[in-house]
Structure formats: C-alpha cells, structure tokens
Amino acid sequence: MIDLYIPVTINILIFAFLGWIYSLYSNRVTHVDSMWSLFFLITTATLFCTFAPVSYPQQALSLAVLIWSIRLSGYLTIRNWNKGEDSRYQAIRLNNEPGFRYKSFYIIFLFQGALALVISLPIIATFKVFEYNVFTKIGLGLFMVGFLIEAVSDYQLRQFLKKDAKRAVMNHGFWKYSRHPNYFGECLIWWGFYIVSIPSGLWYTVISPLIMTYLLVKFSGADLMESTIISRRVGYKDYINKTSKFIPWPPKK
C-alpha cells in the first residue's frame, strides 16, 4: 500500500497548500468545505493515472467517487457563495489568534488533507482488486442508495431554506423520517466504498467508514449542528422527540 500512498500524499499536500494560499487572499477558510470531497477525487485520479490497465472494479469506483465528489463540492460551493465565514471556523479562528491566517495551514487545511488520506483507505485498497465480483455489486448498490438519499435530501433542504423559513423546521420528504438524512446517505456511501474494497484482503480499511460514521454522528455532523439549533428553530425540540436522529424511521405519533 505504501507505494500507492506516496503519490496520493504528495498530490493531497499540494492541493491543501493551494487551498491555504487562497485563504490568505480571501481571508476566510470556509472554502475548505468545498475542497473536502475533492481530496478523494484527487486520490482516485492519481491512482487511476498510475495503473494500467484499470480493472472494472477500479473503473466503477472511480466513476462513483467522481460523481459524488463533484456533486457535493458543487452543492457546498453554491451554499456558501457570497456568505461570511462559517461560525465553526469563526470559533476556531477566535481560539487561535493571533496569526490564525498562517496557523490555518496545519489547523484546517493540512488536518483535513491528512484525515482524507486515512479515510481514502478503501479507495486505495480497491486498486488492488482486479475482478468484478459480488462485493463490487453490493458496494456500488449501497453507494447508489446513499448518493440518492444525500442528493435528494440536500435538494429538499435547499428548496426549504429558499423560503421565509428562518425559524421553521424542515420536516418534509426524507427529513420526515430522519433529522439528518443527508448525513445518513453520506454514511451509506462510505460503507459502500468499503464493501467494494473487501476483496483486497486489507481488513484495516474498515477504519474509514467507522471514522466517517463517527464524524457524521458525533464530531462534526449531527451533534454539532443540533447543539445550537433548538434556540434558532421554533418547534425543533418537538421535532427531536418525534423524529429519528440518523437512521430513517417512521416518526412517532
């Protein structure tokens, strides 16, 4: 695996550095959200260009990463366009002054690049899989389900937020069955990537979906978002009592 990691690491470091350079110009770091999924696209593109010929599982996974990465990066770019720095990064900035603009290279950009390297394990492992098999089918099937849930959930939320709904609660569509269906979809995507990589025999790649699940539920996902939303959204406490936090489930009466 080390021979695969070297070129991937170099390219991710270059991308992280360029993102930091742009932050010096814009004086904000929110664009790292748009960069996140592109780290994995860079990983996949690097491996795709390194291997010849590329097997069917490798081609299929590369296409899946491409579709997921471009959609998520584009969605986040549009969502954050012409807005101030996200409150999460404002808090990090406040806690790391003076000199945050320089510290942000390792606090924000290098950290996310390094995290992406670890989470990329199933993608890298798949480039040791050469036969299209049942794991490829199951993994890609799970990816497609997760991708659909995430994309539709993001669309539903965006349409909701376009209205005068600053203090209302989104509880329609997929959001009727889960308070964070987009995160649930993202979770399925990464478990799908892992399943595709199983025939590589590299069992430790399971750390990738485990980390992603933790991030989405506890660290930077659902729990972080809900830490302040009750005070901002009238009726959200009632929504919590009725609606599943993560896994879609019929709401309580």
* pLDDT(221) > 80: no
- Locate the domains of the chain by residue range: 1-130, 133-253
pLDDT tens digits along 114-144? 999 999 999 999 998 888 899 999 999 999 9
Residue 20 has pLDDT above 80, yes or no: yes
* Whole-structure pTM value: 0.92
Give how far Cα 185 sits from Cα of 109, 146, 237, Å. 25, 4, 23
Distance CA 237, CA 253 (A): 15
Query: Measured between alpha carbons, how far apart are the two ends of the chain, in Å?
Result: 51
- Mean per-residue pLDDT, 181-201: 95
CA dist., res. 147 & res. 125, Å (int): 21
Pick 225 or 17 by higher pLDDT: 17
Dihedral, 198, 204, 208, 213 alpha carbons, nearest 10: 100
pLDDT at 16 over 80: yes
pLDDT at position 204 over 70 = yes
What's the one-letter identity of residue 158?
A: R
99 torsion bin: left (phi>0), alpha (psi -120 to 50), beta (else)? left
Tell me what pLDDT residue 224 has: 66
Q: What is the pLDDT of residue 181?
A: 95
| Residue matched to tokens 């990816």 | 143
Structure confidence at residue 165 (pLDDT): 62
| Range name among 35-44, 54-63, 103-112, 216-225 with the lowest pLDDT average | 216-225
Residue 171 is predicted with a pLDDT of 85
Instruction: Note the pLDDT tens digit of each residue in 157-179.
Output: 998 888 766 667 888 899 999 99
Q: What is the pLDDT of residue 167?
A: 66
Helices 2-26 & 111-119 angle (0-180, nearest 10): 150
Q: Average pLDDT in the 24-52 region?
A: 92
State mean pLDDT over 48-54.
82
Q: Which residue shows structure tokens 């929110």?
A: 30
Instruction: Answer with the residue of higher pLDDT: 165 or 11.
Output: 11
